[in-house]
């Protein structure tokens, strides 16, 4: 259908509808499944402006056993489109065109997505089939190297979600076993948490627009902070915007300063054709932790964002007391197109802060923080809401709203695509997981002034912007500015030997607790989902090389998949959204049962020993 639509344009839709209606009518009633044919009754196609897109599906329906507007398969297992196998493996996505993008052009770009792209909500240009996909061992690897075990995956290149394998793969073998101990539930999409240093409370950032309070295993009826009137209106299906991260000031017990990252409707300074504004805001929390008035926000940063995706959003205080925040590259494929500068936002340090880690001093010029009442006219910090650490790598002669001679002062590291979650370990090392595009996911240990290669590289591999599924054989070792491009500490492919490994990495933290001694020193992270049809996240752990002690290492890190003792298949059977670490070093998994920031299936689980 999509091919016919592209040939005929919108005027040909009625012919396509009639053809599909005839096919549906010919099917015996009651014999339809998602994997075989259309649901009935078939109704006319919904307006193009809000129609959900699925490149593998043949038409859309408005009603039936599925969700309204759900994309369904027409065809059989042996027809040219794959029929049953495509839906079973790729899952047919339910995504609308990003705000501001003409629907027809958006559909044109989606002619041949893969299942992993659909799971992540990515929208990409067509890719060729039958290409050679290099697969590397986890860890190590020279820039642009094609390993000896690179193999060809002919028409299987689109396969992504065939069945539910046991825990462990050739890339990430089954390893240690843990148990997920439920702490609290009832949220929509928890993405971050922090422990109140006073009292037994947990603050939870919910992508749906809230900061919750959990005490004694119960979710407090009233949220600590309700930003739903200040966040951009979220989609009913997949969305990457919302409340995306938070951090408590190191002296939170005394000053109650709470920092939150969220996606707001376009604010002043954001172009009219951009999707939204990313905001870093400060709020003050009372000693009794009563609900905070969202109107008392003090915006520290308001950053224009061209598309709905690749927002990153994590914020974290380092051991030096400075606040780091992660920014995605702006949302376009290969860091290009609308809202992207030539060569990619992530490689540009003079015109924007997208595709980076920023680092600022929120204590600069604060005379008496506890006495500030949220009124900007009475702010003791003066005109600037923050300072810039003098040792930031590009410090020049101006701040964020201007550029010094070396680049944007706030930048700490760059060359990142969509750094989804970051954390410091007790040694001060900054672990950042970066969501890949078509082929690879990666974890970096971020250094001051480090350039991590995007969009020149994806993982260890040289990105081919014209055909992202076929990496180029050679890659530069330096940026155009002459900076070395730093390797991740590990990468893994989306698919290896037709087995799904993942599609969107979720950064975690180094385990430094005592409850699970076997995990001591391991970096624990996850995968959001491997299927669009069901909650399907995964948990991984990576151990540093023997004798490792520097901030980076060229040696291999060993990765394994953690088995979950208290599920039938050893998997969480939930979509993994984030991780948190408690004051004693124990780790918590944030997850939900949906692919959208909605509902009440979001929960927090503690990683515990298997018995």
pLDDT digits (tens, 9 = 90+) for 232-276: 999 877 899 999 999 999 999 999 999 999 999 999 999 999 999
Q: Report the C-alpha gap between 432 and 453 in whole angstroms.
A: 14
Alpha carbon dihedral 471, 504, 335, 318, in 10-degree steps, equals -120
Answer whether residue 467 shows pLDDT above 50: yes
Alpha carbon dihedral 426, 346, 239, 587, in 10-degree steps, equals -10
Mean pLDDT of the chain: 75
- pLDDT tens for 107-145 read 333 333 333 333 333 333 333 323 332 323 333 333 332
Q: What is the mean pLDDT of residues 356-385?
A: 63
Q: What is the mean pLDDT of residues 479-484?
A: 91
Residue 466 has a pLDDT of 85
CB 154 within 8 A of CB 130: yes
Burial class of 303 by CB neighbour count within 10 A (0 to 12, 13 to 18, 19+): buried
Residue 558 has a pLDDT of 84
Residue 480: C-alpha distances to residues 343, 453, 456 (Å): 9, 11, 10
More confident: 499 or 164: 499
| Per-residue confidence band for 384, with pLDDT thresholds at 50, 70 and 90 | low
More confident: 537 or 438: 537
- pLDDT tens for 236-245 read 778 999 999 9
Question: H or E segment at 84?
Answer: helix 84-90
| Per-residue confidence band for 381, with pLDDT thresholds at 50, 70 and 90 | very low
- Of 24-33, 62-71, 172-181, 533-542, the range with the highest mean pLDDT is 172-181
pTM of the full structure: 0.75
CB 454 within 8 A of CB 460: no
Q: Are strands 499-500 and 174-187 parallel, antiparallel or unpaired?
A: unpaired
Q: Report the C-alpha gap between 595 and 237 in whole angstroms.
A: 7
Strand order in the sheet with 243-248: 243-248, 257-264, 276-284, 298-305
Using alpha carbons only, give the angle 176, 180, 182 rounded to the nearest 5 degrees. Answer: 170
Q: Report the C-alpha gap between 429 and 33 in whole angstroms.
A: 50
In order, the DSSP letters of 192-222 are: EEEE-SSSSEEEEEETTTEEEEEETTEE-SS
Answer whether residue 36 shows pLDDT above 80: no
Residue 238 has a pLDDT of 83
Answer whether residue 518 shows pLDDT above 70: yes
- pLDDT tens for 59-75 read 333 333 333 333 433 33
| Per-residue confidence band for 147, with pLDDT thresholds at 50, 70 and 90 | very low
Q: What is the mean pLDDT of residues 29-58?
A: 31
- pLDDT tens for 430-464 read 999 999 998 999 999 999 999 999 999 999 999 99
| Per-residue confidence band for 588, with pLDDT thresholds at 50, 70 and 90 | very high
Residue recorded with tokens 């995306």? 244
Could you give the 3-state DSSP secondary structure of residue 89? helix
Q: Taking Cα atoms as reference points, which of 491, 423, 425, 426 lies closest to residue 453?
A: 491
Residue recorded with tokens 């009832």? 186
- pLDDT tens for 561-586 read 999 999 999 999 999 999 999 999 99
Q: Report the C-alpha gap between 122 and 515 in whole angstroms.
A: 38
Residue 18 has a pLDDT of 55
Residue 555 has a pLDDT of 59
Q: Taking Cα atoms as reference points, which of 359, 415, 417, 406 lies closest to residue 387?
A: 359
Structural domains of the chain ordered from first start: 2-120 (no CATH), 174-608 (2.120.10.30)
Answer whether residue 100 shows pLDDT above 70: no
| Per-residue confidence band for 279, with pLDDT thresholds at 50, 70 and 90 | very high
Q: What is the mean pLDDT of residues 482-486?
A: 94
Q: What is the mean pLDDT of residues 377-392?
A: 71
């Amino acid at each position: 259908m999509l091919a016919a639509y592209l040939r005929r344009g919108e005027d040909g839709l009625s012919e396509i509808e009639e053809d599909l209606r005839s096919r549906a009518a010919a099917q015996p009633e009651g014999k339809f499944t998602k994997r075989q044919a259309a649901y009935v009754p078939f109704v006319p196609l919904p307006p193009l402006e809000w129609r959900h897109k699925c490149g593998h599906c043949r038409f859309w329906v408005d009603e039936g056993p599925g969700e309204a507007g759900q994309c369904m398969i027409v065809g059989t297992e042996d027809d040219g489109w794959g029929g049953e196998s495509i839906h079973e493996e790729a899952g047919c996505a339910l995504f609308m065109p990003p705000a501001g993008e003409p629907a027809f052009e958006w559909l044109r770009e989606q002619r041949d997505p893969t299942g992993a792209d659909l799971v992540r909500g990515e929208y990409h240009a067509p890719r060729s089939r039958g290409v050679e996909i290099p697969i590397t061992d986890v860890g190590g690897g020279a820039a642009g190297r094609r390993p000896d075990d690179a193999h060809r995956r002919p028409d299987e290149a689109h396969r992504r979600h065939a069945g539910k394998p046991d825990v462990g793969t050739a890339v990430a073998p089954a390893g240690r076993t843990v148990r997920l101990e439920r702490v609290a539930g009832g949220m929509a999409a928890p993405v971050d948490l922090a422990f109140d240093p006073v009292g037994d409370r947990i603050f939870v950032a919910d992508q749906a627009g809230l900061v919750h309070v959990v005490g004694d295993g119960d979710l407090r009826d009233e949220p600590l902070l309700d930003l739903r009137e200040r966040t951009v209106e979220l989609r009913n299906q997949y969305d990457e915007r919302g409340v995306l991260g938070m951090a408590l000031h190191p002296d939170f017990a005394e000053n109650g300063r709470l920092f939150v990252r969220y996606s707001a409707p376009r604010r002043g300074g954001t172009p009219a054709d951009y999707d939204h504004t990313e905001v870093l805001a400060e709020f003050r929390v009372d000693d009794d932790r009563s609900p905070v008035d969202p109107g008392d926000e003090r915006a520290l940063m308001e950053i224009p964002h061209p598309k709905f995706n690749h927002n990153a959003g994590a914020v974290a205080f380092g051991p030096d007391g400075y606040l780091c925040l992660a920014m995605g590259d702006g949302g376009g494929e290969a860091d290009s197109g609308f809202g992207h500068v030539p060569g990619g936002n992530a490689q540009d340090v003079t015109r924007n802060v997208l595709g980076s880690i920023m680092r600022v001093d929120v204590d600069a010029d604060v005379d008496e923080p506890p006495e500030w009442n949220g009124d900007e006219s009475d702010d003791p910090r003066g005109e600037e809401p923050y300072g810039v650490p003098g040792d930031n790598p590009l410090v020049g002669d101006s701040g964020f709203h201007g550029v010094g001679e070396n680049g944007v002062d706030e930048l700490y590291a760059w060359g990142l695509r969509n750094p989804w979650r970051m954390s410091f370990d007790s040694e001060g090392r900054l672990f950042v997981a970066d969501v890949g595009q078509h082929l690879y996911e990666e974890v970096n240990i971020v250094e001051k002034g480090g350039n991590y290669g995007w969009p020149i590289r994806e993982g260890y591999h040289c990105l081919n912007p014209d055909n992202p599924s076929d990496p180029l054989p050679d890659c530069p070792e330096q940026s155009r500015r002459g900076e070395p491009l730093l390797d991740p500490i590990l990468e893994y492919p989306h698919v290896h030997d037709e087995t799904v490994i993942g599609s969107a990495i979720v950064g975690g933290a180094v385990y430094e607790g005592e409850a699970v001694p076997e995990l001591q020193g391991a970096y624990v992270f996850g995968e959001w989902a491997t299927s669009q049809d069901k909650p399907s996240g995964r948990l991984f752990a990576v151990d540093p090389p023997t004798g490792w002690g520097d901030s980076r290492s060229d040696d291999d890190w060993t990765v394994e998949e953690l088995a979950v003792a208290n599920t039938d298949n050893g998997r969480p059977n939930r979509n993994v959204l984030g991780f948190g670490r408690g004051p004693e070093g124990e780790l918590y998994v944030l997850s939900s049962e949906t692919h959208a920031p909605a509902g009440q299936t979001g929960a927090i689980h503690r990683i515990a020993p298997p018995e």
